[in-house]
Every structure is written in structure tokens, then in C-alpha cells.
């Protein structure tokens, strides 16, 4: 009975947090550009503040979940994120946005891993694939709900979706504290020495493990370049739409509605494409996955470049949707291929952890790198730079293709 309650609460958590984040994120970029008046460089600094907060606090905040309480970690994370969103929506100045990103980043690290660890504790089973998959499906559905709600509220006031999302995050933290069960948690003392030093020891130990394997070391390189390019693209695509294109006149709608509809349509298309590819890949081997990943990354470089230099709105829209779909399909295929390469459980955990940290490092440095380019130019050149930064990943996939075909 208790496990049934925990499962329903987990699905509620996945749905609510997905909807509330979409409620915020659908409008946030337009709000920063139109209401706060941020330029391309300032938008990239906003992303840098978020990513550096996530990277620095990822391991230290894990101590709370491991030593004290998974549920307590969730409550702290939800409150911090809600406070950050409220701050950003209520104080439309650059430094308030930066402060909000720091709160959001720290709050995210309290949630990261704690939610999955909590449901694993409560269900007391090793067969969690179906639980996580169902949670992801619920999150996708509620993301669309959040997108539509954010777009609707933004018609009346751009800051409104941010503040509503923040207030609901804090309210939901109260629900988690009062109603979520935590009956099987056992404090772990073997991580009590986790400190800043421990974070760097873990990071460099992971690098040492993979440096002996050309294939696994190449995996880190791919993760680095994906982190480097993604921060610039994520921060600049909305600005590119607003600055360089005119939305069709046959539908009189505010800019924020257009951005919301564009992203919602992209997500629907991506869900359908990912499901189709998932079914097609069930019987494929490693060679086919490497070839598919190579093709995706070639197209992704071209799609980002086409989006940057598009001369008309519909060309930019098609290129953006293609970019969105390629990004959405790349990650699950990449994850599946990586897991096929890792045979030993100890090595699996080390590689996946290290790969995630390298990707985060790429995002940390990618923002300022693209920012240096757009400082004297525009978002268009920042997007071209993002496309160029991703290009080396194609050559790394060619290297992997060669290694796989030699086996």
C-alpha cells in the first residue's frame, strides 16, 4: 500500500515539476529580452551563472540526500527554485536575474538524483525502468500543459508566468513535506567526507579511468563539444527569432505566443520522432547506432548554421525545428550506445558521472566563449560560432566509426 502511494506521488512530482518549469521557461527568454532588456552577452552570462552553480554544488548538495533525507533534499530544492523564479519575475534587472539563476542552480542540485533515489528507496525493487519511463512520459505530457499555460499568462503580463511558477514551486514543496512518504530511507555515512576536495578527486579519478581507452576518451571529447555549443544556442535562439525575423502577419499574436507555439510544436514532433526511432533501434547493433549518431551530428551542425543564416522566417522555423528534433533524438541514442560499451558496473558509474561533469564544464566555458564573439557582433554570429564549435564532434564520431568497424 505504501509503495503504491509513493509511486503515485512520484508521478505527481514528475508532472508538477515539468509543468511548472515549462510555465517558467517558455516565457523566461522573452521576458529577459523585452522586459529586462538583456543583450546577447548578458543572456550568455545568465547561462554561465546557472551552469557554474550546478557544477559547483552538485556533489556537496548530494550529502543532504545521502546523509539526512531524500525528501528533505527535495523540499529544499523546490523552495530554492521557486524563490529564484519569484525573484526573477518580480525584479526586472540584470543582477536579479543572475541571482535567480544561482538560486535555481543550487536548487536543481538538491533535486538532481534525490528524486530517483527517493522512489527507489520507497519501492524497494531493482526493476525501476518502467517507473522511470512512465515518469518521463508524464513529464512530457505536463510540459506541454505548462507551455500552453505560460503562453496564455504571458499575454496579460510577461513576468506573471515566472512569479506564478515560483509561487507554485514553493507551495508544492509544502505538499512534498507533508504528504510524500519516506519509510525506507537509511542514512549513508560512507559519504560523510564529501567536500569540495572530494568533488575534484572524483572528477580526476574518472578522467584517469578513461584515458587508457581511446573510445571512452573520445566519448568525453564528444560530451565536451556538446556542452560547449549548447549553451550558446540555448541562450541565443529566442533573441535571433525576435531580432532578425518578423512573425507572419496573418495571425495577430504577441511575440511570446509565437515562441510558445513554436516550442510546443517542436516538442510534439520530437516526441513522435523519438518514439519511432526507439522502436526502430530495438534490434540494431552498435555499428548502426554509431552511424546514426554520426549522421545526426552532421545534420545538427548544418541545421544550426542554416538557422543562423536563414533569410526568411519559415526557413528559420524549419531549421530550428530540425535542430530541436536532432538534439532530442541524439541524446537517447548516445546514451544507449555508451551503455553498450561499458561492461563493468563500476566502470559504468565512473564513465557516466565523468561524462556528465565534462559536459557541464563545456557549458560553463561555452557561454563566455560565444559571448566573446557576440560582444562586438550579434546573436547571428553567436549561433554560427555554436555550429562551428560542434563540428569537431563529427570528426570524433568518424574516429569511433573507424574503431567499431575494426572490431
Question: What residue ranges do the domains of the chain occupy?
Answer: 1-181, 195-407
In degrees to the nearest 10, what's the CA dihedral of 327, 330, 331, 336? Answer: 170
Helices (H) then strands (E): counts for the chain: 14, 0
Distance between CA 59 and CA 41 in Å, rounded? 29
Mean pLDDT across 287-308: 86
| Chain position carrying cell 514543496 | 173
Q: What pLDDT was estimated at residue 103?
A: 92
Say yes or no: do domains 1-181 and 195-407 share a fold.
yes
Q: Which CATH superfamily is domain 1-181 in?
A: MFS general substrate transporter like domains (1.20.1250.20)
Distance between CA 115 and CA 127 in Å, rounded? 16
Structurally, at CATH architecture level, domain 195-407 sits in Up-down Bundle (1.20)
In terms of Cβ atoms closer than 10 Å to its own Cβ (0-12, 13-18, 19+), residue 374 is buried
DSSP 312: S
With cut-offs at 50, 70 and 90, classify the pLDDT of residue 108. Answer: confident
Other beta carbons less than 10 A from residue 151's beta carbon = 25
Distance between CA 39 and CA 243 in Å, rounded? 11
- Within 8 A by CB and 6+ apart from 381, the residues are 308, 373, 374
CA distance readout (Å), 153 to 24, 166, 260: 10, 14, 11
pLDDT tens-digit readout, 344-390: 544 454 555 566 667 777 877 877 777 777 777 777 888 888 899 99
Higher pLDDT among residues 209 and 155, named by residue: 155
Distance between CA 214 and CA 205 in Å, rounded? 17
Amino acid at each position: 500500500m505504501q509503495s503504491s502511494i509513493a509511486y503515485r506521488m512520484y508521478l505527481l512530482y514528475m508532472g508538477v515539476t515539468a509543468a511548472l518549469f515549462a510555465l517558467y521557461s517558455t516565457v523566461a527568454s522573452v521576458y529577459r529580452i523585452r522586459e529586462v532588456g538583456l543583450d546577447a552577452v548578458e543572456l550568455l552570462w545568465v547561462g554561465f551563472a546557472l551552469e557554474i552553480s550546478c557544477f559547483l554544488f552538485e556533489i556537496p548538495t548530494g550529502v543532504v540526500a545521502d546523509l539526512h533525507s531524500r525528501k528533505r533534499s527535495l523540499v529544499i530544492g523546490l523552495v530554492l527554485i521557486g524563490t529564484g523564479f519569484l525573484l526573477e519575475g518580480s525584479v526586472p534587472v540584470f543582477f536579479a536575474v543572475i541571482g535567480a539563476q544561482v538560486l535555481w542552480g543550487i536548487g536543481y542540485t538538491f533535486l538532481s538524483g534525490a528524486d530517483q533515489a527517493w522512489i527507489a528507496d520507497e519501492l524497494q525493487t531493482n526493476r525501476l525502468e518502467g517507473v522511470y519511463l512512465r515518469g518521463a512520459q508524464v513529464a512530457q505530457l505536463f510540459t506541454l500543459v505548462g507551455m500552453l499555460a505560460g503562453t496564455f499568462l504571458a499575454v496579460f503580463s510577461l513576468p506573471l508566468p515566472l512569479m506564478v511558477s515560483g509561487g507554485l514551486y514553493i507551495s508544492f514543496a509544502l505538499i512534498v513535506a507533508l504528504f510524500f512518504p519516506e519509510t525506507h530511507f537509511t542514512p549513508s555515512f560512507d559519504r560523510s567526507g564529501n567536500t569540495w576536495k572530494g568533488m575534484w578527486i572524483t572528477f580526476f579519478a574518472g578522467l584517469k579511468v578513461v584515458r587508457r581507452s581511446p573510445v571512452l576518451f573520445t566519448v568525453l571529447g564528444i560530451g565536451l563539444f556538446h556542452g560547449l555549443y549548447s549553451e550558446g544556442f540555448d541562450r541565443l535562439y529566442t533573441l535571433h527569432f525576435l531580432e532578425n525575423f518578423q512573425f507572419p502577419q496573418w495571425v495577430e499574436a504577441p511575440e511570446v505566443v509565437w515562441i510558445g507555439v513554436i516550442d510546443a510544436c517542436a516538442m510534439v514532433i520530437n516526441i513522435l520522432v523519438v518514439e519511432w526511432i526507439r522502436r526502430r533501434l530495438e534490434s540494431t547493433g552498435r555499428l548502426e547506432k554509431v552511424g546514426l549518431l554520426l549522421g545526426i551530428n552532421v545534420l545538427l551542425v548544418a541545421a544550426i548554421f542554416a538557422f543562423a543564416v536563414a533569410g526568411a522566417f519559415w526557413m528559420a522555423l524549419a531549421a530550428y525545428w530540425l535542430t530541436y528534433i536532432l538534439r532530442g533524438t541524439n541524446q537517447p541514442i548516445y546514451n544507449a550506445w555508451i551503455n553498450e560499451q561499458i561492461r563493468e558496473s563500476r566502470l559504468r558509474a565512473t564513465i557516466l558521472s565523468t561524462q556528465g561533469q565534462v559536459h557541464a564544464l563545456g557549458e560553463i566555458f561555452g557561454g563566455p566563449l560565444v559571448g566573446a564573439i557576440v560582444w562586438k557582433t550579434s546573436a547571428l554570429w553567436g549561433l554560427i560560432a555554436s555550429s562551428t564549435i560542434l563540428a569537431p564532434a563529427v570528426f570524433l564520431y568518424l574516429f569511433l566509426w573507424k574503431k567499431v568497424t575494426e572490431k
